[in-house]
Homo-oligomer: A and B are copies of this chain.
Amino acid sequence: MSAASGGWPSAARLVGVGLGPGDPDYVTVRAVKVLRAADRLVHFAKKGERGNARTIADAITGPDPARELPLHYPVTTEIAVAHPDYAAAIGAFHDRAAARLIEVVEAGRSVGVLCEGDPFFYGSFIHLWLRLKDRVAIEIVPGVTSMAAASARSGLPLGWGDDVVSVLPATLRYADLVERLGAADAAAIIKLGRNLPKVRDALGAAGLFDRAVYVERAAMPGQRIGPLAAMIEDRAPYFSLILVPGRGRRG
Contact = CB atoms under 8 A, between A and B. Distances in A.
A174 interface: no
Interface in A87-140: 118-123, 126-127, 129, 133, 138, 140
Contacts of A171: 162, 251
A69 interface: no
Contacts of A148: 18, 118, 120-121, 142-143, 145
Interface string A152-171: 11011111111111111101
A190 B172 CA distance: 25
A168 B249 CA distance: 12
Contact of A166 (B158, B165, B191): B165
Interface string A20-35: 1101111111101100
B162 A164 contact: no
Contact of A151 (B29, B142, B168, B179): B142
Contacts of A32: 29
A229 interface: no
Given A23-B30, A28-B25, A140 B155 contact: yes
Given A18-B152, A23-B30, A120-B157, 11 more contacts: A18-B148, A20-B28, A25-B29, A26-B28, A28-B144, A140-B153, A142-B151, A143-B148, A163-B169, A164-B172, A165-B166
3 closest Cβ pairs, A-B complex: A25-B30, A140-B152, A142-B148
28 contacts: A18-B144, A25-B28, A25-B30, A25-B33, A26-B141, A27-B28, A29-B29, A82-B251, A118-B148, A120-B152, A120-B157, A121-B157, A121-B158, A122-B160, A123-B157, A127-B160, A133-B155, A140-B151, A140-B152, A140-B153, A140-B155, A142-B151, A162-B172, A162-B191, A164-B168, A164-B169, A166-B184, A171-B251
